[in-house]
Copies of this chain bind each other. A is one copy, B any other.
Amino acid sequence: MEKNELGMTHKKKEFSEWYPELLIRSEFIDYSLVSGAIVFRPSAYFAWEIIKDYVDKEFKKIGIENVYFPLFIPESLLLKEAEHFEGFSPEVAWVTHAGKSELSERLAVRPTSETIMYYSYAKWIRSWRDLPLRYNQWNNVVRWEFKNPTPFIRTREFLWNEGHSVFASEQEARAERDQILGIYLKALRELTCLYGIVGKKTDYEKFAGAVESYSIELVMPDGWCVQGPDFHYDGQNFSKAFDIKFINKESKEEYAYQNTYAISTRVLGVMVATHSDDKGLVLPPKLAQKQVVIVPIPARSEDIDKKLQDYSEKVLNTLKEHGLRAFIDNRDNYTPGYKFNEWELKGVPFRLEIGKKELESNTVVIAIRDTSEKKGVSLDKLIEAIDNEIEAMHNRLYENSKRMVQSFIHNIESYDELKKNIANGGIYHAPWCGSTDCEIKIKQETGAKITNIPLDQSDLHGRCIYCNKEARYMANFARSY
């Protein structure tokens, strides 16, 4: 590589330096003058658009409709559900002035939209015939983190979906959980190639205002957890606070049952952290804005170089006609080696090298980003080969993610094991009595919280690692971003 400043200077094992360097040098994101907020450059925003479009289509299939509510929430409205307000107010950004005027009431920049949406829901819902009401919005939210910000994982503004459903019965509301978590899991698997751990949040860790929270927990390569997409069954908590009542089939007035759920741009951070390597970004092939780069290898002969150019364009057209996102790197001021490094840094999944030999044999060389493997393939088999490589890389990345997450899970029976090992990261799967007291003490003493309680509890056994009472759950303890 000619220009040293292009490449990575940190190795993946130096995770805390490598991760931000990766994001910046690969031109996935940039910082801005607003501390704690990031700029999504084209390749990051492209990946988010694919996730968003996929999830949105799945939502629409099951009858969810999109809406848009205002960004600002009057303080008095945010105060209406006390637990919810307490959960969010420490990190609310407040608008106090407009132009030169001071506002009569402060406005919160939405940290989430329960309060402003449910004020409207109460007006709109009258009878069981108005239910279910399943609305969603794709928007930006602000939570003013005072901790050290980490791009995507902990930023002061992020993009997400927030789904807010209302049902006529607890049963119907609860039935939505598997539908929504199923869509999120599918998006994680089919697009980001990420493996997650599905489980229930403890009462202590659940969403402010929910009856029960469920999460898909993701893991960073340093073994710290990150809460991924989530789903909250809110019961009648908000409907009582916001007076969302309906006349049921028995002509009686009843408070409605509600859910909320979200997937955010946070998953992009886990995705690139999980798949990338010492050379730079590795992007799952279905999410890569640029899937294939064609690099002609000049032959120092004007005649051959002209033919190489024509041949490259033929290859490009073949790829494009098949719907692949491909381009030729024709820059004459960089060597092929420089170009190889640059597109590896930026995470282009496949590179086609085309030199004199390929020209003469009607072939191309495919270089595969994650394995560094190179394969020759004849032009008439190219599309088939690329399609296969996309599937193979996709599956490989997912299996790697799954293997990484599972390698971080340690089945433990004693508190000592947790205390001894938690500094190395990892998830400690342990018997727990279910008491919040034990949970809080463990968190205070080790920094590990219960990320979630896996839905599959078939391995329940033993005694609480903290108080030694009989275990009621197998819980996952981990340090979490």
Tell me the A residues contacting B by CB distance below 8 Å. Answer: 30, 32-34, 37-42, 44-46, 48-49, 65-74, 77, 89-101, 106-107, 109, 116, 119-120, 123-124, 129, 135, 137, 139-140, 142, 144, 146, 157, 159, 289, 331, 333
Contact = CB atoms under 8 A, between A and B. Distances in A.
Given A34-B116, A92-B99, 20 more contacts: A32-B70, A32-B119, A33-B74, A33-B119, A37-B72, A38-B70, A39-B70, A39-B120, A45-B65, A45-B68, A45-B137, A46-B66, A71-B142, A91-B98, A93-B95, A93-B97, A93-B98, A93-B107, A95-B96, A140-B140
A117 to B, nearest CB: 8
A45 to B, nearest CB: 5
Contacts of A139: 140
14 contacts: A32-B120, A33-B116, A37-B70, A37-B71, A38-B70, A39-B68, A42-B135, A45-B66, A46-B65, A65-B289, A72-B142, A92-B98, A97-B106, A139-B140
**What does DSSP make chain A's interface, helix, strand, loop or mixed?**
mixed
Contacts of A333: 129
Contacts of A70: 32, 34, 37-39, 157
Given A33-B119, A67-B41, A90 B99 contact: yes
Contacts of A92: 98-99
Contacts of A129: 331, 333
A98 B144 contact: yes
A109 to B, nearest CB: 7
B34 A74 contact: yes
A370 B33 CA distance: 51
A67 B95 CA distance: 25
Contacts of A69: 32, 39-40
A95 B109 contact: yes
B95 A99 contact: no
B98 A94 contact: yes
Contact of A39 (B67, B97, B99, B101): B67
Contacts of A37: 70-72
Contacts of A40: 67-69
A159 B68 contact: yes
B99 A96 contact: no
